[in-house]
Structure 1
Amino acid sequence: MAGLIILAMGSNPLDFFAGVWTYGVTGSNWQRSLVLMAPLLIVAVGLIVAFRGQLWNLGYNGQYLLGAVVASGFGPYLFDAMPVWLATIVIFLGSLLVGAIWSLVPSILKARYGTNEIITSLVMSFIGIGVANLLIKGPFKDTTTPQPQTAVIGDENLLAYIPGTSIHVGLIIALVLAVVAQFVFSRTSFGLRMDIFGASPKAARHVGINSTWMVILLFALSSGLIAFAGAVDVLGQYSYQRANWNPHYGDAVMPFVFLARLSPIAAIPLVGFYAVLATGGTLAAQQAGLNVDFLLVIVGLILIFMTITEYVGERRRLGQSYLPPGLRRTLARPFQTGAARKES
Structure 2
Amino acid sequence: MSGTGSETTGMGAAGATLAPGGRGGAWRERGRLVVMTLGPILGALVLSGLLLLVLGVDPLAYYGYVVERGLLSPYGVQATFTRMGPLLLIAAGLIVAFRAGIWNLGGDGQFLLSAVVVAALAPLLAPLMPVWLVLLAALLVGALVGAAWSLLPALLKAYQGVNEIITTLMMTFLGVSFANVLVKLFFRDPTTTVPQTRTLPVADRLPRLFDTTVSSGVLIGLVAIIAVHVVMTRTAFGLKLRIVGANPRAAVHAGLNVPLLTVLTFALSAGLAGLAGAVEILGVQGNVRADWNPAYSLTVIPLVFLARFNGFASIAFVFLFSVLSIGGESAARRTGVPNFFTLVVVAILLVMLGVTEYLDQRRRAAGR
TM-based fold match above 0.5: yes
Structure 1 residue 139: Cα displacement: 2.1
C-alpha contact 1:43 1:229 (8 A) present in aligned 2: yes
1:24 aligned to 2:87? no
Report the equivalent of 2:29: none
Question: In the alignment, does 2:214 pair up with 1:167?
Answer: yes
Number of the residue aligned with 2:162: 115
Gaps of 5+ in 2: 1-46
Q: 2:338 aligns to what? A: 291
- Pick the structure with greater CA Rg: 2
* Paired amino acid for 2:213: S
2:311 and 2:289 map into 1 onto residues whose CA distance is 31
Percent of paired sites with the same residue: 44
Kindly indicate which of the two structures has a greater share of residues assigned to helix: 2
Measured after TM superposition, the shift of residue 252 of structure 1 is 1.2
Q: Paired residue for 1:79?
A: 126
Query: Partners in 1 of 2:309 and 2:180 — Cα distance?
Result: 32
Structure 2 residue aligned with 1:334: none
Q: Which runs of 5+ in 1 are unaligned?
A: 320-344
User: Structure 1 counterpart of 2:266, which letter?
Assistant: F
Matched, 1:132 2:179: yes
Q: Over aligned residue pairs, what C-alpha RMSD do you find?
A: 1.2
Q: In the aligned structure 2, how far is the partner of 1:306 from the partner of 1:139?
A: 42
Distance in 1 of aligned mates of 2:133 and 2:338: 43
Q: Per-residue deviation at 1:125? A: 1.1
| TM-score scaled by length of structure 1 | 0.91
Out of 195, 198, 201, the residue aligned to residue 245 of structure 2 is: 198
- 1:85 is paired with a residue whose SS is helix
DSSP 3-state at the match of 2:152: helix
Q: How many angstroms does 1:318 deviate by?
A: 9.0
Q: How big is the shift at 1:164?
A: 2.8
State how far apart, in whole Å, the 1-side matches of 2:323 and 2:198 are. 30
Q: Deviations over 1:195-237 (max 9, x none)?
A: 1111000111111110100110000110110011000000000
Task: Identify which range, 164-173 or 240-249, moves more after superposition.
Answer: 164-173
Give the 5 Å matches for 1:81-230: 81-230=128-277
Pairing 1:57–2:140 present: no
Q: After the TM superposition, which parts of structure 1 deviate over 2 Å for at least 4 consecutive aligned residues?
A: none
Q: How many residues align?
A: 319
Alignment of 1:299-310 (within 5 A): 299-310=346-357
Tell me how far 1:112 sits from its aligned partner.
0.7
Letter in 2 for 1:77: L
